Amino acid sequence: MGEQLLEQLNESQRAAVEYCDGASLVIAGAGAGKTRVLTYKIAYLLDVVGLKPWNILALTFTNKAAREMRERIEHLVGTESARYLQMGTFHSVFSRILRSEAEKVGFTSNFTIYDQSDSRSLVKNICKEMGLDEKLYKPSAVSDAISMAKNRLIMPQAFAVSTLFDSKHPKVAEVYQHYVERCKQANAMDFDDLLVRIYQLFEDHEDVRQRYVERYHYVLVDEYQDTNYVQQKIVYQLTRDRQRVCVVGDDAQSIYSFRGANIDNILNFREAYTGARLFKLERNYRSTQLIVEAANSLIQKNERQIPKEVYSRNEHGERLTLKPAYSDKEEAMIVCKDIVRLKREEHGEYSDFAILYRTNAQSRAFEEQMHKMNIPYRIFGGMSFYQRKEIKDVIAYFRVVLNPDDEEALRRIINYPTRGIGDTTISKIVNTATENGVSLWQAMSNMRHYGLALSASTTGKVEAFRQLIEEWRGRLASEDVYQLGHAIIMESGISKDIYGSREPEYVARQENLEEFLGSMQDFVESRKEEGQAESIYLGDFLQEVALLTDLDSDDNAEQPKVSLMTVHSAKGLEFPTVFVVGLEENIFPSPMSTNSLRELEEERRLLYVAITRAEKHCILTCAQNRFRYGRMEYDTPSRFIRDIDPSLLYVDDGTHRPDNNTERTFAKRTASTSYRPSFQHAPSAPQTVSQSVAPHYRPVSSKPTASGSEEGIHSLREGMTIEHQRFGIGTVLKVEGTGENEKATVEFRNAGIKQLLLKFAKIKILK
């Protein structure tokens, strides 16, 4: 049986499976059969080495991974042996141990496990009891700080002198102390406690540690590059005596530092375990040879790594393709047209395609273009752009301003951001409206007439909210959707609420809000250019958004769909064709990473993960400009594009004349702003909405800005080639009208035929 097992492995996989005498580190390149090695090694330990199933401990990061491994092992060695394996996530395995050892760490065996919402609720209550300002001490941010401290084994008494201590929020240490005490009183542990308490159990009770060392003769850990400090410590506690441990992972795919993952665990493994053997799985079974070579050329630019040379024996394949676009609008068009083309040429399904982006906010342009082209899609690991909370909140404000009798929208925003109109007040308004057969708005607007009895203080708050809505309503006909929408976001307090923290959750909301502002500005400018200046107001915009949100309902869940997701969500997945979009400075790499070599290298690993999801085609895109922060932003191509071997990158600018000179592409795309290749001189992070848009808002200019002069615009003739700020390169088919009404009909390479009103057109005559 043992030889039969080994015959199904390649030489590197076989060597990793056979070595069981000491610690081993298995570095598995992308698509190299990592799970296969783990499952076959467990089968080998059972069938050849002779270990009992209950003497093997296998730790994974997801229940799904544990289930898949168990099913594969059952297929190899039978259900009976696999049933008694000690296999599961860190949290599930160690929670079972804690149930039986709880008293030794001050709990009873029936302790409760708090999920994230329970933890945040307790933190919120503690902050309230301490009289802390919730806007300064947001429960989510405080809870995340406590979690990060636990993952690094920093206890409350050490927190105040740790690197995590923030002098702007000095009370977090006290909240942490109270939180630990309250959990103990409630006989409850959160998910982080399940690891911290196990570490403390083994550290403080040597007899208990020895008992589990004797039980687990061999320990295996999947995705070791994703382990945090406390997880690494627990594994070491269980294995330092025998050193019979096998960890599997890929340092080149370590992309979760924001969750506490520490790449040092895998890089320094052989220092922690003297004499540990290193095995490299370097054959990629997923991708074509040229995709693998391009990914290798990228990741080799990282200094901190375990060197390896991943290779493929699949078909030679095609080079990576870089498709520069003039704008995010054209970028979406290019990608969607390629999906339609490749699906037709290769007789594939929409499920063969994935669009990967750095931030969730980037999905909007692709969603809108797919709606226009009837391409089915799904947001993997997230929700559609217009279904995200912060976007729905803003749209609810818009709906109430347009139609104050909209009850559902009014209920959503009447106390968001918090303005002291609580549930009791809302219930009174609802009851009064129901009794009188009127809308909530009517009841609020005529409180005395309808007998709505509220305290003087509450009446003032309701009236202040009503007047705010009325003030915006008075601007409906005079301000376009961007001007009024921007004012609503700022004056309602939404911007202040969302920009109150730099935690990842809030950063994502900020990016979504900025993207939404950009979509409003794009809506205004596009309609003006296309001669629809009378249709740029709030009602017109809401009508278009309503059509998009209506299409979000999934009537056919089984239909093959294009997958849209962040690169972080894509790890572990694979697709025949992958588009990696938004490869620009200030997006990928993230501006928050560019002043740290460690963080910049993680961003490069993130792109490596994106490229290695592709089996046959990997297409990269970047945009020269996009609406962000409510204005047009000009970007340079990502520095990472230069890290890819130029001989492995085909540059397609849409002219059907391939330009394989990456340096020339950079020169073309960086004319307006200098490219900075070194992280020490990286572009500074762009200003946020709350910092920049309000004080620096400039209405859209009605002056012709495109060709540099009015004379240039009026010299436009049929047959000329022009460059448009958003639509790219096009040919003029017809020019008609005079003066203010002069129009040009232009056929663009990707955007199709557009009619532009020249007084607003953002164009430049090329020839």
Copy the structure tokens of residue 630.
């409510």
How crowded is residue 157: how many other Cβ atoms within 10 Å of its Cβ?
11
Is position 253 annotated as part of the catalytic site?
yes
CA distances to 383, 388, 563, 581 from 363, in Å: 10, 12, 11, 10
Is position 35 annotated as part of the catalytic site?
yes
Task: Please spell the DSSP secondary structure of 448-469, one letter per residue.
Answer: HHHT----HHHHHHHHHHHHHH
In this structure, are strands 721-724 and 763-765 parallel, antiparallel, or unpaired? antiparallel
Query: What is the amino acid identity at position 694?
Result: A
Set 47, 192, 193, 223: catalytic member? 223
Q: Alpha-carbon distance 722 to 732, whole Å?
A: 7
Say how many residues make up the chain: 767
Q: Alpha-carbon distance 767 to 754, whole Å?
A: 19
Set 144, 190, 193, 222: catalytic member? 222
Q: Alpha-carbon distance 367 to 620, whole Å?
A: 18
Ramachandran quadrant class, 437 (left: phi over 0; alpha: psi -120 to 50; beta: rest)? left
Q: Alpha-carbon distance 378 to 397, whole Å?
A: 27
Strand partners, 577: 353, 617
Query: What is the amino acid identity at position 484?
Result: L
Set 231, 253, 577, 688: catalytic member? 253
Residue 744 burial by Cβ neighbours in a 10 Å radius (0-12, 13-18, 19+): buried
Is position 223 annotated as part of the catalytic site?
yes
Ramachandran quadrant class, 65 (left: phi over 0; alpha: psi -120 to 50; beta: rest)? alpha
Is position 657 annotated as part of the catalytic site?
no
Is position 665 annotated as part of the catalytic site?
no
Set 35, 243, 458, 745: catalytic member? 35
Contact 484, 524 (CB under 8 A): no
Q: Reduced to 3 states, what is the DSSP secondary structure of residue 388? A: coil
Question: Tokens 């922060």 label which residue?
Answer: 629
Is position 393 annotated as part of the catalytic site?
no
Set 280, 323, 364, 613: catalytic member? 613
Set 34, 280, 571, 669: catalytic member? 34
Contact 639, 586 (CB under 8 A): no
Which residues are known to be catalytic? Answer: 34-35, 222-223, 253, 613
